[in-house]
Structure formats: structure tokens, C-alpha cells
Amino acid sequence: MKLVLTGAAGRLGSYLREPLAQLADEFVSTDIVDDIGNLYDGERYVKADLAELDDMMAVLKGADMVVHMGAYADEAPFEKLFGPNFVGAYNVWEAAYQNGVKRVIYGSSIHAVGMHPKNEFIGTDAPHRPDTFYGLAKCFAEDLGRMYWDKRGVESVHMRILSCAQVTGARALGSWLSYDDLIHLVQRCIETPVTGFSVIYGVSDNDRVPVDNSKASFIGYRPKDNAEQFAKDILANDPPMDPQNPEHMCHGGPFASVPLGNSGIAQMDIIDDTKQN
Ligand SMILES: NC(=O)c1ccc[n+]([C@@H]2O[C@H](COP(=O)([O-])OP(=O)(O)OC[C@H]3O[C@@H](n4cnc5c(N)ncnc54)[C@H](O)[C@@H]3O)[C@@H](O)[C@H]2O)c1
């Protein structure tokens, strides 16, 4: 099986490269950076721009599946997201179709549905309700994936990741996706024999999980980690919640309250723990 990983130089990509290199017969990692550092056994790196269809056509040549994680991974003005996130998604699906790729496994986000209130235990069929242009790009890619399945038979699994980063605040007690569970989720998305078009939330087995994955249980994703282990320390230090603040009340957290075009990540305490090889 030939597998391609976009966004390979990113934080999530850094945790996926080694297990995907082991899983695939042929593994190509790709990103826009010049150099990705030391390669794992069986890995080949190709520099490519998501916004260029020719680049995507070349990296997906002969591939069976692509794990598409490359993006500008924050809220920003529409013009900044347009190339990597909107055109990039089109290029990945179009190149997948033209190259006969069976399945796209996509790093979607809770921000596609981020304006839904958190006290609604939303399922994978909740209507799109983006909180930002960034979330809107995730909605676009999900709809693209649905259309390429309906009209062209390209399968896709859309992993709506909640927050895959170290637990540093109260929101993450519900939204955390551990790196081990991320790897397991991506493996299940690859190994499930038939997926058609599917959506699944990327979240660990947290006591406070705010979303419902029951309609995607056929994928066999059974997370093992639980953010409750951090609750005592986090809640001792976190300021009280404000029921009038969308940041506290909506699934999108800080992205639900930032003005359109302004960074949501800047409001979060993300630790850069990119895995080094
Ligand atoms: N980290 C999270 O909690 C989280 C949550 C929801 C969704 N996601 C999604 O998962 C994916 C990976 O997230 P991450 O946290 O690793 O982000 P990241 O910013 O660390 O990695 C994204 C990678 O995409 C690459 N990229 C950007 N523009 C490109 C272009 N034009 N061509 C080729 N590559 C380009 C970047 O160089 C970077 O290495 C993203 O699509 C993100 O939206 C992440």
C-alpha cells in the first residue's frame, strides 16, 4: 500500500510519520518546508505546495490513500486561508480522483461545527456551523469530500479533531485527543475496509467528552486516554466560566469568540511538543 501524508512537518504530522511509515509498503511525506529532518525507515520526503494542483498530482501518483493534514492551522483573514485550506483541499481531492486514490483521510476540525452550544451533545450529523473562516474551510473540505464520494466514488473519512495538544485548560478536559489516540484513529480510518463518506470526532475517551461518535462506531475507533487525570490540577488554577461567553459555551472554545480573521490559537496555551526524529 502506498500512503501519502500531507502536513508532515506539522505537529500532528510529526507524530504520524513513524507509525504510517511502518504501516505502508511505500510512504511519502510531504509539506511546503525545504527539509523535514531525519527520515524514518521507509519514508520519502517530497516538498510540495497544497495550492498547486501539479504538485498534488505528482505526490499522489500511484497512491492508495492520502492522510491530508496540511493546512494553515489557525484562524486568519480569508485571503491567507484561501490557498492552503480551500484550494489545497480541492487540489488534494481532484488529484486523488485523477490518480485513482481510494480514500482521503482528512484532518477536519470541531471548528466546522464550533458555534453549536456545548451543552448540545452533537453527533457526527450535526449541521455545519463554522466559528471562523478556518472552520468554514473545514466545512468546504467536508462538502467536497461528500461530493467526490457521491459523484466520483472517492472515499473519505473526516476526522473532526477537537484539540490535539497538551491539556492546559478546562476546555481540554472534554476536548483532548492524545497523540496515541490520534495514531489509533488514523490507523482505523486506513484499515476500515469500506468507509464511503464518513465523519468522526477526533477525541479521547474523556469523562467530559462533549460530542457523540456513536454513528461512526463502525470505524472501530476505541480511544484509551482520558483527560480526567489532569482535572484536579487544571480546575484548581482555571478562572470561573462565564455563561455569556461563547468561548466557554460553544464547542469552538476561543475560536467561537475571536473576531473573524483573528487568531484563535493566540488565545490558547499550546505547547509546541513537535516530535523530533
Ligand atoms: N492540532 C489540533 O488540535 C487540530 C485540531 C483540529 C484540526 N487540526 C487539523 O490537523 C491538521 C494538522 O494540524 P497541526 O496542529 O499539526 O498544524 P501545523 O500547523 O503544525 O501543521 C500544518 C502543516 O501544514 C503545512 N502547510 C501549510 N501550508 C501549506 C501549503 N501551502 N502546502 C503544503 N503544506 C502546507 C505547514 O507547513 C505545517 O507543517 C491541520 O489541518 C489542522 O487544521 C488540528
Which tens digit of pLDDT belongs to each residue from 144-203?
999 999 999 999 999 999 999 999 999 999 999 999 999 999 999 999 999 999 999 999
Q: Which residue minimizes the CA distance to atom 42 of ligand 1?
A: 73
Q: Which residue minimizes the CA distance to atom 20 of ligand 1?
A: 10
Task: Give the pLDDT confidence score for residue 239 in this predicted structure.
Answer: 86
Task: Give the pLDDT confidence score for residue 124 in this predicted structure.
Answer: 98
Quickly count: other Cβ atoms within 10 Å of residue 175's Cβ. 28
Active site residues: 134
Task: Give the pLDDT confidence score for residue 240 in this predicted structure.
Answer: 87
pLDDT digits (tens, 9 = 90+) for 34-66: 999 999 999 999 999 999 999 999 999 999 999
Q: How far is the CA of 12 from the centre of ligand 1 (A)?
A: 7
Q: Is the pLDDT of residue 228 over 90?
A: yes
Task: Give the pLDDT confidence score for residue 164 in this predicted structure.
Answer: 98
Q: Is the pLDDT of residue 118 over 90?
A: yes
How far apart, in whole angstroms, are the C-alpha atoms of residue 163 and residue 174? Answer: 9
pLDDT digits (tens, 9 = 90+) for 15-24: 999 999 999 9
Domain boundaries, the chain: 2-267
**Residues 6 or more apart whose Cβ sits within 8 Å of residue 258:** 75, 132, 264, 267
| SS3 of 220-265 | CCCCCCCHHHHHHHHHHHCCCCCCCCHHHHECCCHHHHCCCCCCCH
Question: For the residues 132-145, what does the mean pLDDT come to?
Answer: 98
Question: Options 3.30.450.20, 3.40.1160.10, 3.30.70.3040, 3.40.50.720; which CATH number does 2-267 get?
Answer: 3.40.50.720
Averaged pLDDT of the chain: 97
Q: How far is the CA of 72 from the centre of ligand 1 (A)?
A: 6
pTM: 0.98
DSSP calls for 166-185:
---STTHHHHB--HHHHHHH
Where does ligand 1 bind, in terms of residues with CB under 6 Å? 7, 9-13, 31-33, 49-51, 69-73, 83-84, 88, 107, 109, 161, 163-165
Task: Give the pLDDT confidence score for residue 106 in this predicted structure.
Answer: 99
Q: How far is the CA of 236 from the centre of ligand 1 (A)?
A: 32
- In this structure, the dihedral spanned by the alpha carbons of residues 273, 14, 205 and 201, taken in order and rounded to 10 degrees, is 120
Task: Give the pLDDT confidence score for residue 149 in this predicted structure.
Answer: 98
95: three-class secondary structure by DSSP: helix
Q: How far is the CA of 101 from the centre of ligand 1 (A)?
A: 21
The DSSP symbol for 87 reads I
